[in-house]
Amino acid sequence: MSYNDNLKLVEDKISRAVARSHRERSDVHLVAVTKTVDVAAMEKLYDLGIRHFGENRADVFAEKVEAFADKPDVVWHFIGSLQTRKVRAILPYTRFLHSLDRVSLADEIEKRATEKMACFLQVNISEEETKHGFNAEEAIAFVKAQNYQHVEIIGLMTMAPNTDDEQTLHHVFQGLKALQQEIEKLEIANVPCHELSMGMTNDFEIAIEEGATFIRVGRALVEEN
């Protein structure tokens, strides 16, 4: 299928999931994960109306930002594991960081940032050994102890297990939603925690049903069949 067909199919799935969960389409932001495609492919998505793009490698991210320098309406998301030494390179261009997974990274962002950086705290809600991030207890402890001026925790992010078991997926996303609500109620300065970044190509419909406000979709948008 063409990129246009892909986007129509994704939008249809989003609309149906939004309807099932009695939400509004405007509640859900579609982030096109473009780590596997080049600038030309991204331009096709841009021409179809996509404005939120997610990248996971600092060097490629910088190249793509430069290529889209004449398109100020593009919103850049950094979604991959970020080395502290690469913070300075990506910070000026990143609107949303989805992978704040450790204290040392938060410290480096605070050191380098000149204005607030919208961050999702990465939570390994399923506690898989192969995944990065805070567990639920660590996440709560972190937000209670933080005293940053530039690191703003706007929400939580997780990656669900690679499974077709819908019950498992619902359980994981429900867990992140519950944690988000728990942190939100603490009303901590610089930790509004209103947002949820969860759901990818295989599971974004379930994520939307469980409260996702940002979904990170790559393959479903950029694969050409």
In three-state secondary structure terms, 81 is coil
End-to-end Cα spacing for the chain: 5
Q: Are 81 and 105 in contact (CB under 8 A)?
A: no
Cβ burial of 131 (10 Å; 0-12, 13-18, 19+) is middle
CA dihedral 27, 31, 32, 33 (to 10 degrees): -140
Other Cβ atoms less than 10 A from the Cβ of 22: the count is 7
- Local confidence pLDDT in tens for the 225 residues of the chain: 899 999 999 999 999 999 999 999 999 999 999 999 999 999 999 999 999 999 999 989 999 999 999 999 999 999 999 999 999 999 999 999 999 999 999 999 999 999 999 999 999 998 887 788 999 999 999 999 999 999 999 999 999 999 999 999 999 999 999 999 999 999 999 999 999 999 999 999 999 999 999 999 999 999 876
Q: Which CATH class is domain 3-222?
A: alpha beta
- pTM attached to this predicted model: 0.96
Sign for the CA dihedral angle at 133, 56, 201, 7 comes to positive
Domain ranges for the chain, please list them. 3-222
